[in-house]
Structure 1
């Protein structure tokens, strides 16, 4: 958001740089702006205003921002939690429990019941005083609906959405997925691996955490949309998020480290998930230290490995005993062509 050169911004260094994001639908640009503020020493304060037309959008922004700012998580755990909530329709049990705990924190933040450090950190960075009481209540209602006690059949909702989108072509949807990738996505962003893209289009899982299982619905993707039932207008709860583009575009198609996009033998040595993990880790690193993250040489040369395998002595989350870090799906995909080479 601060890509303009200094001469195009306000001259008075004492006045804040005001940025308005209208219906962004994605909070990652704000996160990247926060992490890179140290690169512009002439700008002491930046104020970003976000406007959405639905309470679900604002509630999801608050949740993702609170995960990003959670200092109780290690960098790897924070990255994995964020990407899982950000792009998966189904999530792990521990992630669902974590989201519910963050929901309680955000409810206390909205109601100005500051009982912990997490609420105070949010209050220092996020100002909701411009929201009316009715709007706050609407956001709080959305947050409460993300509780594990609320029945949410995300898999059925997504299947229904796919059937409505493809209509008579539903039984041939995999052929359509393949067509979209080869005719559109491959030429624009070939770093998006074909197998990752096809799996997301079919199952809604964009980011896999090793060989974990995903039994819980990602309730943060549930929202209301206006429709008709028996001739009457009605707001219906369901899955109305993206089913075509994929969540890889914001974080998985560009990065400051060019080695992530190297091509050997007509195939990328890294995948879009590697790029997403790198960007998240780089933002967390720069936000906490003020220095740009430089990927170790070991990671650059560890082709076919996950992003985390080359971090070496950097402090990352210890692996769970039941999850074998050697069985990383990305280890397999990075050596597989995204499309036929013949």
Structure 2
């Protein structure tokens, strides 16, 4: 919940690569079935300047708060360059995306942007003007009310209290039980024997342990995270002028590192010596987001300035709380109410939560999707009727639980379930490489007979 376990993908590139000989379409329909974050949308949108194909994303998630958070993250990616420069936008995204506690400037942005998102959610004319890539018409009224609750909860009011630190500690205690007093050893085992052994080499021990202890994944020495990230609250229910919620119910074992922080085009940034990286997953995430946001904004290829990336691979950064005088109810310094950066060939349709169960059986979606991405925790909802929503030559990508801390037996069991399900539907495997190489995504193609 809140972030996925696999790398971001350019869906258009994936589809074109597998259908190059027969590719002659004006538009493509992509289904994202429970990815928990908009990483694939952002990656695909960033590269869309190189082609003129209309790309329609249909997003299904089982939680309204996730939908609200996805809209916010897309808003940051599409934030007007007059409001934030490129580096500010990247660090804002990283803060909101991966940190339980955020900087005062990020909190201020969230507080201000919530007002704009409320208008986008409740007024179709405003939505058309400010966020033309967003479509929420398929959401039911109760779900739109849920969006309104989420955006209202993000406003800077004392009654909208969210003690993320207490909630995070409680989750850790429930998970570790008697091992809690020796948690650093447990954290090191999970990193070294599970995540890094399975390909997540770029995650450094100090950043992983800091995240496991505090929920703060991405840190820089000039920033202080000290205010609750309200986008991580789940189960919001309005109670008069305030809200009930379930606290933090997301992941406390893997972290937000997988989407943008494991690989880079800059091979020099992936170097390590005796198991110690020169760059953290944090710096890799920063570099990759700089590329994506640059291309969304400028519609030109990105050339990275290596001087922007600092080598903190083996540095333990001190994190404190120096902003104790900050007043969360202070007037907003900006409205952040300018239109999204123009992405004319991208449209994102957020579907009803009910579609988690119904999308496979509704005639509306028959022969509709050119590509489907299935998150690992949504695989359990699939039925054999799943193929009916696919067009000929459609791609089906199944996220594995490779980047998790589950046992090798559970890893193999889930992999077997994916392969068995694909075989029952006569899907053709696109996953190449050694049989012993584990995959974070299993790729298949569907051909009608």
TM, length-normalised to structure 1: 0.79
Higher helix share: 1
- Give the 3 Å change call, closer, same or farther, for CA 267–130 of structure 1 in structure 2: same
Q: Secondary structure at the match of 1:17?
A: strand
Match of 1:168 among 178, 183, 186: 178
CA-based RMSD: 2.3
Partner of 1:185: 195
Cα displacement (A) at 1:263: 3.1
On the 8 A contact 1:110/1:140 being kept in 2, the answer is yes
Cα displacement (A) at 1:336: 5.3
After superposing the two structures, state which structure 1 stretch, 179-188 or 237-246, moved more. Answer: 179-188
- In the alignment, is residue 260 of structure 1 matched against residue 239 of structure 2? no
Cα displacement (A) at 1:270: 1.8
Q: Secondary structure at the match of 2:234?
A: strand
Match of 2:47 among 33, 36, 43: 36
Partner of 2:232: 221
Partner of 2:121: 110
Partner of 1:334: 313
Cα displacement (A) at 1:264: 4.5
On the 8 A contact 1:25/1:52 being kept in 2, the answer is yes
- In the alignment, is residue 156 of structure 1 matched against residue 166 of structure 2? yes
Q: How many residue pairs were aligned?
A: 293
On the 8 A contact 1:108/1:114 being kept in 2, the answer is no
- In the alignment, is residue 93 of structure 1 matched against residue 93 of structure 2? no
Partner of 1:80: 91
Gaps (5+ residues) in structure 2?
Answer: 1-10, 237-243, 317-449
Partner of 2:152: 144
Q: Secondary structure at the match of 2:256?
A: coil
Match of 1:293 among 275, 295, 302: 302
- In the alignment, is residue 120 of structure 1 matched against residue 129 of structure 2? yes
Partner of 2:253: 244
Partner of 2:25: 13
Task: Between the two structures, name the one with larger relative contact order (CA 8 Å, sep ≥ 6).
Answer: 2
Gaps (5+ residues) in structure 1?
Answer: 226-234, 308-329, 338-342
Partner of 1:228: none
1:4-32, Cα deviation, whole Å (9 max, x unpaired)? 23563874433x10000011101111101
Q: Secondary structure at the match of 2:15?
A: coil
On the 8 A contact 2:204/2:314 being kept in 1, the answer is no
TM, length-normalised to structure 2: 0.61
On the 8 A contact 2:262/2:281 being kept in 1, the answer is yes
1:60-86, Cα deviation, whole Å (9 max, x unpaired)? 000111111111210000000000000
- Give the 3 Å change call, closer, same or farther, for CA 178–17 of structure 1 in structure 2: same
